[in-house]
Amino acid sequence: MNFASFDFWVYLICGSVIVGIIRSILYRMKAAWIPAYDKYSLLILSLSLLYRESAFTLISFLYVAAVIWYGTQWALAREGFERKMIITGILCLALIPLVYFKYANFIYRDVLRLSVNLWGSFLIPAGLSFYTFQLIGFMIDRIARNQHDTVTIGDYINFASFFPQIVAGPIERTDHLLPQVRQFSWRITQHHANEALSWIVYGLFLKLALANNIAEQSKWSGTALTNPFQIWLANFMFAYRIYFDFAGYSFVAIGLGKLFGIDLTINFKSPYTATNIQEFWRRWHITLSGWFRDYVYLPLGGGRAGKHVIRNILIVFVVSGIWHGAGWGFVLWGAFHGVLLCIFRFAKDRIKLPRALSWLICFIAVLISWLLL
């Protein structure tokens, strides 16, 4: 589901037109059918876009969604130790595709040093990391709050598969997205269209005009570099290419969401203007940072864990690095950011620097981190 692909937009427009024509016919026949039609037509459109990515992608999504859905119902019907064991089992089952398709080769070849060719391990279903985490968050939220209120499977699949954000985020929370898809209606207003167009054009500009051109101009950086200037120039270009690429995709997703009357979370807020590493992570991949904070860092004890705070921070960022990619470079990248956060936590109340100098130090530290990938 590539927003930069002409085929995606043709399919989306044609699909939306067909949905609109059928809706107008149904409305003349019986208006009471419209709410159900709106929800299920959105579901079909989202799943068909996943299928166009590949049948493999759709099957992987349906597996994870089914495991989380039925596992959540099962866990809510149990109490105490039995519930905890069910949750553990469901998490293991839900993570099987992510671990296998994204990390199996890394584990076997780089960690265990085994020469093994695993079937399909070179394929990564689109959006696997994103919807797996979003659905795990759904399960944890419902079980933690003991929510037995009715969520229909149609609303659940719409929440899980909403096409603008399923492939590359943002990772939405249950309380934010689920109520919106429950009330979804195929009514595209002029206000929604105007607001959506601004986000979509801006996102495509970042992706096509900036990220793709930087990638084209930096092809030389794929060769072995020995000149320090070239190394740092290539790293600088990579830093902005990855930001423009990722943020551009995210902004198009926000625009598409607004087009259909759904507000998605802004995932990037000019991270390279941050004046400290903590602020950087409040601006870079915001929904992922929030997910790790709420579902990993706080359960470990968070900032109130005394002497274990540093341990908690390092665990979160090493896991975050692994989430971004399979390889020792990503492990080191995550650990490096964890160390930076620990240093900042110790120094923030002891050392006061001018804002410009703080920004420069933070920016250089982030650039150094990109060298590890």
pLDDT tens digits, one per residue of 230-260: 888 888 999 999 999 999 999 999 999 999 8
pLDDT value of residue 23: 83
pLDDT value of residue 359: 95
Q: Considering the candidates 191, 192, 308, 324, report the single residue annotated as catalytic.
A: 324
pLDDT value of residue 222: 57
State yes or no: is 191 an active-site residue. Answer: no
Q: Do 259 and 196 touch, CB atoms closer than 8 A? A: yes
Q: What digits encode the pLDDT tens for the residues 192-228?
A: 888 899 999 999 999 999 999 998 887 765 566 677 8
CA atoms within 13 A on the CB side of 338: 23
Q: CA–CA separation, 290 vs 296, rounded Å? A: 10
- Its pTM stands at 0.90
Q: CA–CA separation, 231 vs 236, rounded Å? A: 9
Q: Do 285 and 246 touch, CB atoms closer than 8 A? A: yes
Q: Do 136 and 94 touch, CB atoms closer than 8 A? A: yes
Percent of the chain with pLDDT over 90: 54
Band the pLDDT of 304: cuts 50, 70, 90: confident
Band the pLDDT of 367: cuts 50, 70, 90: very high
Mean pLDDT of 164-186: 90
Phi-psi label, residue 113: left if phi above 0, alpha if psi -120 to 50, beta otherwise: left
Q: Give the relative orientation of helices 153-161 and 34-53 as an angle to the nearest 10 degrees.
A: 40
Residue ranges covered by each domain of the chain: 6-182, 190-259, 271-370
Among 143-147, 211-215, 329-333, the minimum mean pLDDT is found in 143-147
Question: What DSSP letter does each residue of 325-354 carry, written as one string?
Answer: -SSHHHHHHHHHHHHHHHHHHHHTTT----
Mean pLDDT of all residues in the chain?
Answer: 88
